[in-house]
Amino acid sequence: MTDTDRYESAVAEKDSEHVAEFESHEKGLIGFLHSNLHKYPFLVPLIVIIVAIVAFGLINPNFWRVGTLSLILQQVGIVGILGIAQGLVIITAGIDLSVGAILVFITVIMGQFSFRYGIPAEISIVIGLAAGAAMGFANGWMVARLRLPPFIVTLGTWQIILAANFIYSRNETIRSQDIEAQASALHFWGAIFRVGDARVTYGVVAFLILVLIFAYILSNTAWGRHVYAVGDDKEAAELAGVNTDRVLIQVYTIAGLLCGVAAWVAIGRFGAISPGASTGVQGNIQSITAVVIGGISLF
C-alpha cells in the first residue's frame, strides 16, 4: 500500500467516526410548549394570567360571577386605551413613560376648567383632549427633532407632568356628587347598561371601538405601514421616502390624545377626580404589560 493509499484510508476512517449530529428536539407536550414559547414570547405572561384567573376561581367561586367579571372589564377599558397609546409608540421602537401622568393631569384639567373657571363641561373635555395631544406632541417633537432617546424624554416629562399636576390642582379632589350635579358630561363614559346579567359601561364600548379602529389603521392603511417601517428600520424607511420625523410626531401626538380619552373614561369609571390617583405611576407599567400580552415586541 502506497503512502497515498494509507493517507486516504486514514482520512476516510476519521470522517466515518465524526458523522454530523443534529440536536434532538423534545417531543410531545413539553417540546410543543418549548418551541412555541420561544417563537411567541408574549404567551408567557398570557399563560401566567390564565393560570391566575383559574386559581382565583378555584379559591373563590364568586370570582366567576358575571358581576365580578364585568367589573374587571370596566377597569380593563382604561388600561386598554392606555395600551393602545403605548402600543403605537412601542411599534416605532420607542416607549412612553408619561402615559399615566398625562391621564391623571388631564382628569385634573377637565375638572378644574369646569369647576374653578365655570366653563361648560363639554368645552372642558375638548380642552383636556387638546392638552393631552399637546403633551404627546411635545414628546414626539423632542424624540423626532432633537433626536433624544424616547426613554429619557418621557421619563422627564412624566416627572414634569406629575409635578405640574399637583401644583395646578393644589391637591384638591373633586367629589363625584359635585361632578354629577354640575358637570355630568364628565361622567358620560361611566353610564351603565346591561347585557344579560353583565353591567357594562360606555367606557368599555369606547375601548372596543378604538381597538377596532387602530387595528384597521395599522393593518390596512399606508400610515400604518409607515409606523411599522419606522420601528423596523428608521434609516431604511427614510430611504424609501417615509417622513419618519412626521410619523413619530404624529404617533406621540395620537398617544397623548388617547391618554386624554382614557382620562375622560377614568372620570366616568371612578366618579371623583383626584390628583393623587395611582394611575399616574401604575399606568405606565399597566400599559406596557397590556402591550406585551397583546403580542407587540419590546425589542
Q: Quick one: pLDDT at residue 49?
A: 80
Strand partners, 201: 192
Q: How far is CA 123 from the centre of its chain?
A: 27
Lowest-confidence pick of 75-89, 192-206, 248-262: 192-206
Confidence tier at 45 by pLDDT (50, 70, 90): confident
The whole-number average pLDDT for the span 16-37 is 62
Q: How far is CA 294 from the centre of its chain?
A: 9
Lowest-confidence pick of 8-22, 54-68, 171-185: 8-22
Tally of CA atoms within 13 A in the half-sphere of 109 that contains its CB: 27
- Hey, where are the domains in the chain? 27-64, 75-293
Confidence tier at 38 by pLDDT (50, 70, 90): confident
Question: pTM for the whole thing?
Answer: 0.84
The torsion angles phi and psi of 193, rounded to 5 degrees, stand at -135, 160
Q: Is 195 helix (H, G, I), strand (E, B) or coil?
A: strand
CB 258 within 8 A of CB 82: yes
What digits encode the pLDDT tens for the residues 100-117? 999 999 999 999 999 999
| pLDDT over threshold 80, residue 35 | no
Q: How many CB atoms lie within 10 A of CB 156?
A: 15
| pLDDT over threshold 70, residue 197 | yes
Place of cell 403605537: 88
Q: Alpha-carbon distance 121 to 114, whole Å?
A: 5
The whole-number average pLDDT for the span 243-265 is 97
Q: Alpha-carbon distance 47 to 293, whole Å?
A: 9
CB 141 within 8 A of CB 249: yes
* CA distance between the termini of the chain: 62
| pLDDT over threshold 90, residue 281 | no
